[in-house]
Amino acid sequence: MPYTGALMTTFKEIYKRIYASWLGKNIGIRLGAPIESWTGTEVRKCYQPITDYLTDYSQFAADDDANGPLFFADVMKHHSIDDVKAQDMANNLLNVVPYEKGFFWWGGKGISTEHTAWLNLINHVDAPLSGSCKQNTKAVSEQIGGQIFSDCWGYLALDKPEIATTLAEKMSSVTHDLDGIEGGKFVAVCISLAWHHLDAREIITSALTYLNPDSNYTQLIREMLDFHLQYPNDPKKCLAYIEDKHSYDNYEGLCHILPNTAIMLYGMLYGKNDFDLTMQLIAEAGRDTDCNLGNVGSIIGMMVGIENINEKWIKPINDVILCSSSIGTKNITTLSKTAYQFATLACKLHDIPTADETIARHTTDFSLPYATNGFQIETSRYHACNLRVQNNQLKICLDDILSNQEFKLYKHSYFRPQDVYDCRYEPEFAAIIEPGDIIRCHLDNPEHLPLDIAIYIKGYSGKIYHSDFTQETDLEYHPNTNDIPYLEYGFIIRSQNRIQRNYFTVNNFEIIKQPSYQIDFLSLTVEDWGYDIGLKQHYGISGLRIHRGHATIHDNQFLLDAHSEFNFSGPDVSIHNMSLSWIPQDNIHLHMCYQWHGCYDYQSIEVDHNTVYLTSNYNRIVTRKLITCMHETIASIDYDYNKQAIYINSKKFEISLTLVPSCVAILNESNQPIQLLSCRIEGK
């Protein structure tokens, strides 16, 4: 019989459990990434036993395993369970996925499942045909992607496996078919069931109820359950069986779902419901290790909770996740904030009251274990201190601080290539803090330590800018230097006397977004991000997320290539004023987007040759409102929300606009490069 448990709990408990599961997902990805595609024999020869991370990351950038669940769940912000369709999920995918840049492995049509489905979608082959074996062949449609992206549906449908099944099936059908869809359903259902079950075999057995009984996927699960029942204490025998009967050689395509599912089942069945042992077994089995470990980490993390995940896995992550969606302002975030967003959607589904959603966007939340919000301490030989999350505070434990010494407590506002270990999935960013923003925080100094503290930012040049030093516990700072993008922000702490064995805390850290600055495009920097997953050299421009095409700085020119686009500013800013200037040229076609939520969700002022429009693009449906036809070459646009006016070449035209928080973007739809000069934004 289908499982019919009833979820009776609070937002806080849902938030905490999703956080544990999402941590498990990201732990598995990081553990498996260095040995992805290795055979089990190769892994065991080099690394057995695997009891910790194989690589010391400076900062790990998320791959497709994390990008997918995080951004695909966004569709449920705008839909209910009853009305969401596969095509709605497809539209969301198109919106958040850059054009053949990052996010997925863009291996080509008929090779990469996701690339194939994406090409179908942009050519108006709608879901679910976009992912079908009829359209793409069985070999393409049964690869592993439907499985690795489905964790989010389990998070949203905790203790509601029927709903988890429905959501996972719809999303998986956008890109996959047959066993590819069954894998998505299986992962989502297992996570949903793990809310209430404490045994991996029990979860697997219950999950069978929600799968197609005639599928090869279901047959494989039954086969693995039977093998485990026959040899419950012989994991080596089971692994040898998998490597013989379910090797890659027995399946079509580059990364078929079934041999990897066999490894997942092996780890879950022989892992004794222990997070460490389960991770070890799956890692040492090889194949698509980051995918397999990520999915099972998610399931077991939900099952055992944060209390039963060793901190050796958690602390190196430091609560940070770097993504590669189309939206630069959302690509620097934290696991705790994204877990908060999942929990908010889950509570919407369960009709459970939620906290203020803005907490996840602009303020810190230290209520969860290890939720540092990405803060770290600048190390020095002159001081010794550590961070702990305790009692809803970030606790700075001062082991030994010398008199008149300074140290920094900080987090990144922006990441450069040298700050990130793995850039294969093209993680380009827009800065979190911008000129004009307000940084506020509240500290506690219960021991009255002799500390002078200032809020600071670090400019792109490396120069430090800070507020006045004070012993007050409520601090505020308005950075206004144009040394952009800002690299980091936080506190400079200066001790008046030597301090030993004591502490102070950060209770809250708030960013009020109201950017006010001008970008002179020639002042930006070309950044070498190394090789992407397709072994192509990847270049970016500091502070811009180039989600389509390329931009270059060459011969004292900033050129945005034909059919190229970038976004910046945010996150979630209401733009009151925006202006853009460029070198005049014939046959220009560009958009200045004052509201940009993704590739197919934006409001813009569109210049098409000598004609100007107010343009809306939502789910690839474009509407245009004519402003004017000019009889001169256009070289600048100014938008003023307060005056409800647009200025074209300084000529005023009255318009009617609404404000919606978002980032901003520039789109070049011309058949030639455009030389951009400057862009100014004012946000509230």
| Predicted pLDDT at 106 | 94
For residue 6, what pLDDT band results from cuts at 50, 70 and 90? Answer: low
Q: What b/e string do you get for 44-62 counting C-beta neighbours within 10 Å, with b at 16 or more?
A: beeeeebeebbeeeebbbb
Region 531-550: mean pLDDT is 92
- Is pLDDT larger for residue 220 or for residue 628? 220
Helix (H, G, I), strand (E, B) or coil at 509: strand
Region 7-12: mean pLDDT is 79
Share of the chain above pLDDT 90, in %: 86
Question: Using an 8 Å Cβ cutoff, are 22 and 335 in contact?
Answer: yes
Two tokens, residue 515: 């950017």
Helix (H, G, I), strand (E, B) or coil at 221: helix
CA separation, residue 6 to residues 164, 193, 318, 477 (Å): 14, 11, 34, 47
For residue 1, what pLDDT band results from cuts at 50, 70 and 90? Answer: very low
Report whether pLDDT(3) > 60: no
| Predicted pLDDT at 424 | 87
- CA atoms of 640 and 629, how far apart (whole Å): 20
3 state SS for 44-95? HHHHCCCCCCCCCCCCEECCHHHHHHHHHHHHHHCCCCCCCCHHHHHHHHHH
**Phi–psi pair at 348, nearest 5 degrees:** -60, -45
- CA atoms of 412 and 571, how far apart (whole Å): 14
- Is pLDDT larger for residue 1 or for residue 224? 224
Q: For residue 647, which of 661, 662, 628, 666 has the smallest C-alpha distance? A: 628
Q: Supply the DSSP symbol for 70.
A: H
Q: For residue 130, which of 146, 114, 142 has the smallest C-alpha distance? A: 114
Question: Using an 8 Å Cβ cutoff, are 300 and 278 in contact?
Answer: yes
Two tokens, residue 253: 């395509």
Question: Using an 8 Å Cβ cutoff, are 286 and 39 in contact?
Answer: yes
Average pLDDT, the chain: 94
Region 154-162: mean pLDDT is 96
- CA atoms of 232 and 214, how far apart (whole Å): 26
**Phi–psi pair at 516, nearest 5 degrees:** -150, 100
Region 537-556: mean pLDDT is 95
Region 18-43: mean pLDDT is 97
Q: For residue 211, which of 134, 147, 123, 255 has the smallest C-alpha distance? A: 147
Two tokens, residue 276: 């460490």
Report whether pLDDT(358) > 60: no
Least confident among 207-221, 534-548, 667-681: 534-548
- CA atoms of 104 and 102, how far apart (whole Å): 6
**Phi–psi pair at 60, nearest 5 degrees:** -90, 130
| Predicted pLDDT at 2 | 37
Element (H, E) at 580: strand 575-582
Report whether pLDDT(608) > 70: yes
- Residue found by looking up tokens 């719809």 in the block: 170
Report whether pLDDT(447) > 90: yes
- CA atoms of 288 and 281, how far apart (whole Å): 13
Report whether pLDDT(4) > 50: no
Q: Looking at 344-430, which runs of residues are DSSP E strands?
A: 376-377, 383-390, 393-401, 406-412
Least confident among 21-25, 601-605, 618-622, 626-630: 626-630
Region 246-262: mean pLDDT is 94
Q: Looking at 170-213, which runs of residues are DSSP E strands?
A: none
H helix runs in 73-124, sequence order: 86-96, 113-122
| Predicted pLDDT at 350 | 87
Question: Using an 8 Å Cβ cutoff, are 282 and 264 in contact?
Answer: yes
Q: Supply the DSSP symbol for 383.
A: E
pLDDT in tens, 365-404: 999 999 999 999 987 777 788 999 999 999 999 998 888 8
**Phi–psi pair at 619, nearest 5 degrees:** 55, 40
CA 329, chain centre distance (Å): 10
Q: For residue 435, which of 488, 484, 476 has the smallest C-alpha distance? A: 484
Region 307-315: mean pLDDT is 97
The total of other beta-carbon atoms located within 10 Å of residue 468's CB is: 10
